[in-house]
Structure 1
Amino acid sequence: GESNFVACMTAILSQMEHSHYTNYINAFQTRQDLMDFLMETFIMFKDLIGKNVYPPDWMVMSMVQNRVFLRAISQYAETLNKMFLNSNCFELQLWNNYFHLTVAFLTQESLQLENFSNAKRAAIICKYGDMRGIIGAGIRDMWYNLGKTLDFYFSYQSATLSIF
Structure 2
Amino acid sequence: MKLLVFGALLVMSGPLFAQRFSRNEVSINGFRNPSIGLEYRRSHVSVHAGYYPTNFTSGVTTSFVRTGLTYWFLPVGQRSNPSSFYASGSYVRGLDRDYEGKNGVMGEAGFRWMVWQGLNLRLGIAVLKAPGQDLKVNPTPGISYSFAW
Q: So what's the TM-score if we normalise by structure 1?
A: 0.21
Greater helix share, 1 or 2? 1
Q: Which has the higher contact order (CA 8 A, sep 6+)?
A: 1
Greater strand share, 1 or 2? 2
